[in-house]
Amino acid sequence: MTVVIEVLAGIVFFSLIILSVLLHECGHFIPAKIFGVKVTEFFAGFGPKIWSFTRGETEYGFKWIPLGGYVRLVGMYPATVHHHHGNRLTKLADEARAAEAEDITGADRGRLFSDKPVWQRLIIMSGGILTNLLLAFLLFWAVFGIHGRAAQTTTVAAVTPCVHSSQISGPCPSGDRRAPAAEAGVQAGDRIVSFNGRQVDSWSQLQEFIRDNGDGEARLGVKRHGDAVSLMPTRTLVTEVPDLNNPGRTVEAGYLGVSPTMVVVHSGPGDTVSQMWTMSKQSLSALARLPVLTWNVASDMVTGKARDANSPMSIVGASRVAGDVAGNSQLTMGDKIATGASLLGGLNLFLFWFNVVPLPPMDGGHIAGAIYEACKRGLFKLAGKPDPGPADTAMMLPVAWTIGALMLVMGLILVVADVVSPVKIF
């Protein structure tokens, strides 16, 4: 029965991902229709067609490779661009324009994407990524407000006695030293209120103070049974600690040796935005290292090494994780729904940042092209020069094809890894 639940939950979660993709495309499609742009295709997925239907001038449907989706806006490349020098790149751009021109009739003039003012193009291209951001916000706000989220407090849950070993009594083993917090006399239940004379308001702030302190002196003030206590000065030490923006990596930073008490808090939109920014820094760190992280996944898969729980996943892997959550008998129904919603929110937040990248074929590449064109035309106007015309975005086709091929390869690697060596969170 558990297997059936896991499979059904995985299918439901996969369907919700596809729904997120379709809503992203609606973010492009709806303003494009409002501004009168000709839209001929609206698809979830890439590659061979599974099923479709046509309404008006637009074909809607699904394709076999579920790595995204697209709407086909006619006239993405400006039709009339004159190059002073002919080379392979300009020839490629001209061929792309010629291929697109086959779908353009005389009645379409004025309805092409490239015919529209820059501000309309910016709205059309940013609509998708803003939809992902809004979905992420609504999902996280619902989870934090209704179910609550685990929050770290400045009250100490446990004190690490030795830096490297788990020994809880007696002297530390040879070569190991007492943890700084233990040397200072910190006790479980103490609420840390100051660090080196600076007021401590949150656990994240305390973490920052400790890490930035390196191996410097540390003077702690705590509240113990309601009384203010100044502890014996100690020195933090530099050691390997998890990277806050990439939990799969470690960095050298100051270390104290305390762990926080966890509580469940219910919060509103302000805290949701704050938490999303923290998650965004982690997403950006992962995005910057995505090719390397994908290579590590492939290497571990080939060598048989256990999959890192923090490694990137495809939507297949995310669906499997959702299935594992649904099949876990130790979680309440509320915990399962909240975890699934958070997983979907995190995916939408990552898609937002992924598509913000200012390179084609991502939405950010088209946004960057429109901004470049507006700036160029503005500068020419200020200089009293003739209008330079639209920016020739077709010249970026080699970049788009290279990145597209890289995305396809990485996507296939992650899909295979998620089948052969899936991420385990339990």
Active site residues: 25
Cα 128 from Cα 150, distance rounded (Å): 31
- Give φ, ψ of 42 to 5 degrees: -140, 100
Cβ atoms of 47 and 63 closer than 8 Å: yes
**What token pair was written down for 341?**
């919603």
Query: What stretch of H or E contains 238?
Result: strand 237-243
Cβ atoms of 291 and 406 closer than 8 Å: yes
Q: At what angle do helices 269-288 and 333-356 cross, to 10 degrees?
A: 60
* Distance (Å) of CA 54 to CA 13, 37, 111: 27, 17, 19
Determine whether 358 is exposed, middle or buried from the number of CB atoms within 10 Å of its CB (0-12, 13-18, 19+): middle
- Give φ, ψ of 419 to 5 degrees: -90, -45
The CB-based long-range contact list for 44-49 (8 Å cut-off, 24+ gap) reads 44/18, 44/69, 45/69, 46/70
Total residues belonging to the chain? 426
CA dihedral angle for residue 350, residue 352, residue 354, residue 358, rounded to 10 degrees: -160
SS3 state of residue 406: helix
Cα 229 from Cα 212, distance rounded (Å): 23
Cα 366 from Cα 359, distance rounded (Å): 7
* Distance (Å) of CA 17 to CA 319, 335, 339: 9, 20, 15
Q: Give the distance, in angstroms, between the CA of residue 224 and the centroid of all CA atoms in the same chain.
A: 40
Q: At what angle do helices 333-356 and 315-327 cross, to 10 degrees?
A: 170
Select from 414, 408, 396, 288 the least CA-distant residue to 45.
408
> Which region, left, alpha or beta, applies to residue 228 given φ > 0 means left and ψ of -120 to 50 means alpha?
beta
Q: Give the distance, in angstroms, between the CA of residue 334 and the centroid of all CA atoms in the same chain.
A: 24
- The residue assigned the tokens 């649904």 is 326
